[in-house]
A and B are shown apart, each in its own frame.
Chain A
Amino acid sequence: MTSARRRFWCISNLNSGKLARWAVTLPPSLFLVVFFLLPALIVVAASLREPGEFGGLAPLFVDGAFTHALTLDSYRFFFGDTIYLEIFVKSFFIALLTTLICIALAYPLAWLIARSPKRRRDLLVLLVILPFASNLLIRVYAWILLLGPLNLLYTPVAVVAGMVYVHLPFMVLPLYTNLEKHDPALLEAAQDLGAGTWTRFWRVTFPLSLPGIFSGSALVFIPVLGMFAIPELLGGTGDLMIGNLIKEQFLDNRDWPFGATLSLLLTVAVLLCAGLATLAAKKSFKGTEAVT
């Protein structure tokens, strides 16, 4: 549509256009308020309460009287002992390691898929996502059988191996989507202007694939942080991660406020990381959005 015609269309539909915009954005907004904002507020509130006698939270009213104001006990508890911070740091380290290994493994795979003939690509992508067709726990149990004879079971290596295995497709898919869009003429131009194979990769392919690496990393890093099934099944007693810690508070210790505090701190830490990463990425992405 030409711009003049579009303008005309907009003017003549100004009122109904506004209505339509509301109609389109209201349901998702409502959804987010009900299922994200409210629960998040509840978590914040829960982290500031005391635990109930038999789990849950302490009741707000006892004998018709309002009890207990808010308390920072859970936060004091968290920062009072280095063990929790240590588990946080270790979890971040495992998530980082998993992400890096995923990048290293997924890159060649995604590159090969993007390079193969068009008709075969769909099949290869299907193979990448095929593991999702079976249950996560079953796949992790399979790793127990694999790692047992290797004497690696219940070690940090087993945890990272399981994490990488489960999350690899989340790295392959965004990377493949990115690499597939690269214009082969750019590599020819680089070669024509004197760049050898490695230089072409590092100066052209890699910088242009940064957005793919970035979204893949977000899809791997954040879920790994919260994962508890894999460390529980494959890791040893010393391989607890934040996810296990949180799960424990809700299911075993029945200390909901502390569980909520841990969840909240995890969310804040993740948001901080994401913010920093976005800032760093903004710089290196310049110009690449135009193609990808």
Chain B
Amino acid sequence: MALLEIRNVTRRFGDFKAVDAVSFSIEAGEFFTLLGPSGCGKTTILRMIAGFDDPDAGVMLLDGQPLTGIPPERRPVHTVFQSYALFPHMTVAGNIAFPLEMAGKSRDEIARRVAETLALVHLEDKGGSYPHELSGGQKQRVALARGLVNRPRLLLLDEPLGALDAKLRVEMQSELITLQREVGITFVFVTHSQQEALALSHRIAVMNRGRIEQLDEPDKLYGLPANRFVADFIGKINLIEVEVAAASKVLLTLKAAGLGEIAAADARPLQPGERGCFALRPEQIRVYGRKESADLKNRFDGSVKELLYLGDVTHYKVVLANGFAIEALMPNAAPGRAKFHEVGDAVTVCWRHDAGIFLRD
């Protein structure tokens, strides 16, 4: 049985559906992420799980028991707020002890668990400090410790890294992974950073306008996006407008206006004439000089319009015959050779027939 099951949950504000018939379930021990642009309903879902908001329709089950009617203080669910919401009049240790006191734990146990948790988040020497004496990263850790200390069934984290600077964010990301593995508590994490979601999660639900567009593991989301929105939202991608020309058992032939035919490995039974887009990651594309040969099915001539040398990789923008500017990422792995092409060079872009994916509209 899933730890948390959400079935057809809808939340309306007036006529506006902030959450629209959302269903998913979370297994115990999972690092589950809700990812989506601002205003897509992530916080609303978390608030409903925590009990601060109630669904207008649908059910939420925790360990198989409906959550309806249980107030937030009696749900075994804790939240790490984006603003941290640390109690300013309590010390760090006092903040962390709070949920234990609420649960009526004994003095000895509280002291022991607070010390353990302080060690877990590397704040052993900060127990006596007040929140306003801490740095942003330290406050973040206290908020985490306070959420974790009473071992909730579920820890909800609403953009917990949003207020940190870029460097600290990356540091905290790897700490979060380690922490979650060590304590084994199920995390429901909310972010609008796709990089953060990919790096941290076991599974990600990509949301848009109150609906879940796709729910999958990070590599599946990246490699096999279900639709245009997910493809575009996660990572960089080229989206080429196409129409199905022919579909055989294993090979799909697509027609792109002004460009020609694109071959793609695809076993789906698609009908000729279906419209959609062909999604291709920049790193799947090779950029060659016109004379260089490459034995690849998909080859298109173009010229380099922009070039961004980034050291480990070079980022090219190549304009194709139909005016489409395709983006390609070339690793600079060959010894002694930094750049391959210059702006204005006539080049050929190619990719394997099993690279890229056709997305129906």
Contact = CB atoms under 8 A, between A and B. Distances in A.
- Whether chains A and B associate is yes
Nearest to A192: B79
Contacts of A186: 85, 87-88
Interface string B65-82: 000000111100111010
Contacts of A192: 50, 52, 72-73, 77-79
B73 A288 contact: no
A185 B132 contact: no
Interface stretch (B31-39, B98-106, B272-280, B327-335): B98-106
B7 to A, nearest CB: 23
Interface string B84-113: 011111110000001100110000000000
Nearest to B102: A194
B131 interface: yes
A186 B72 CA distance: 14
Interface range, A side? 20 to 34
B72 A191 contact: yes
Given A183-B85, A204-B87, A207-B89, A193 B98 contact: yes
A286 interface: yes
B146 interface: yes
B130 to A, nearest CB: 4
Contacts of A185: 81, 83, 85
Interface in A66-104: none
Given A189-B81, A193-B78, A195-B73, A290 B88 contact: yes
Interface string B132-166: 10000000000000110010000000000000000
Contacts of A150: none
Nearest to B50: A192
Contacts of B79: 189, 192
B89 A286 contact: yes
A193 B71 CA distance: 11
Contact of B73 (A196, A203, A286, A287): A196
A29 B91 CA distance: 40
User: Which of A188, A194, A199, A285 lies at the interface centre, i.e. has the most chain B CB atoms within 10 A of its CB?
Assistant: A194
Interface in A248-292: 285-288, 290-291
A287 B102 contact: no
A242 interface: no
Contacts of B74: 194
A190 B85 CA distance: 9
A246 interface: no
Given A193-B78, A195-B73, A290 B132 contact: yes
A208 interface: yes
User: Which of A191, A192, A287, A290 lies at the interface centre, i.e. has the most chain B CB atoms within 10 A of its CB?
Assistant: A192
B54 to A, nearest CB: 15
User: Which of B79, B87, B130 lies at the interface centre, i.e. has the most chain A CB atoms within 10 A of its CB?
Assistant: B87
A190 B98 contact: yes
A290 B98 contact: no
Contacts of A195: 73, 98, 102
A210 to B, nearest CB: 8
Interface in A149-194: 183, 185-186, 188-194
A191 B73 contact: yes
Counting from the closest, the 5 A-B pairs by CB-CB distance are A194-B102, A290-B132, A189-B85, A193-B99, A287-B130
25 contacts: A183-B83, A185-B81, A185-B83, A185-B85, A188-B52, A190-B87, A190-B98, A191-B52, A191-B71, A192-B52, A192-B79, A193-B146, A194-B73, A194-B102, A194-B150, A195-B73, A208-B88, A208-B89, A286-B89, A286-B130, A287-B88, A287-B91, A287-B132, A290-B88, A290-B131
Given A188-B85, A286-B130, A287-B131, 15 more contacts: A185-B83, A186-B85, A189-B79, A189-B85, A192-B79, A193-B99, A193-B102, A204-B87, A207-B89, A208-B89, A285-B89, A287-B88, A287-B89, A288-B88, A290-B130
